[in-house]
Amino acid sequence: MLKNEQDICNLIYEDEKMMDVLRAAQSLNLPDWWICAGFVRSKIWDTLHNLSVRTNIPDVDVIYFDRDNTEEITEKMYEDALKRKLPGIPWSVKNEARMHLANHLPPYSSSEDAISKFPETATALGVKLDEKDQVILTAPCGIKDVINLEVRPTTFFTESKERSAIYEERIRKKKWESIWYKIKVYHIDIDGVENETE
């Protein structure tokens, strides 16, 4: 049973493949780096569904924060370095110091600030390794929803109808319930109120 952040860190630490991925990302020495979103969430949901085989994830999202170099080509260079280190992993590297432009938002102040503005609370998670090879978790929206198998929008995505629509479209496309049957999905109605899917 997963009850707290340390339980999640232990779960990841005991997964050799996840640790290999984390060590590869760590080797780049990126500023304010994290591996986030589905890499963490899917492991938690797989565990809570007692799945013996890890669910495939479309990409491994490595983020970092570097205001001094916001060239997209630099991200591709890091991706290529990771592909050479661990081929077969669907690496995606993004500098959150520039991603606000792609998302048409005010600038983020850090990678963790960017994570807090992800669409779903259950996806607003990041992990990395410290200098002692220990797993560190960041969960700016908390872990309650992810361990309770609840999908709901972050506060940031309930603040405008445009962002609420983006959240709803993501939920429709992801079809997470078809993979993890125990999850409860909350939708936002036109008045900004959450409603659970029956």
What is the spatial distance between Cα 82 and Cα 92, in angstroms, rounded to a whole number? 9
What is the spatial distance between Cα 129 and Cα 135, in angstroms, rounded to a whole number? 5
* Closest by Cα among 69, 74, 2, 73 to 41: 2
Model confidence at 192: pLDDT above 60:
no
Tokens of 139: 């969960």
Mean pLDDT of 140-166: 95
List beta partners, residue 63. Answer: 34, 94
Which position has the higher pLDDT, 197 or 83? 83
Mean pLDDT of 75-93: 98
Chosen CATH of 5-141 out of 1.25.40, 3.30.460, 3.90.1570, 3.30.70: 3.30.460
Give the model's pLDDT for residue 198: 42
| Contacts (Cβ under 8 Å, ≥6 apart) of 84 | none
Interval 96-136: pLDDT, tens: 999 998 878 889 999 999 999 999 999 999 999 999 999 99
Mean pLDDT of 154-159: 94
Model confidence at 153: pLDDT above 90:
yes
Tell how far CA 101 is from the center of its chain: 19
Interval 17-67: pLDDT, tens: 999 999 999 999 999 999 999 999 999 999 999 999 999 999 999 999 999
Model confidence at 6: pLDDT above 70:
yes
Give the model's pLDDT for residue 41: 98
Give the model's pLDDT for residue 193: 59
Neighbour order of strands in the sheet with 194-196: 150-151, 184-188, 194-196
Q: Give the domain ranges of the chain.
A: 5-141
Tokens of 149: 């198998």
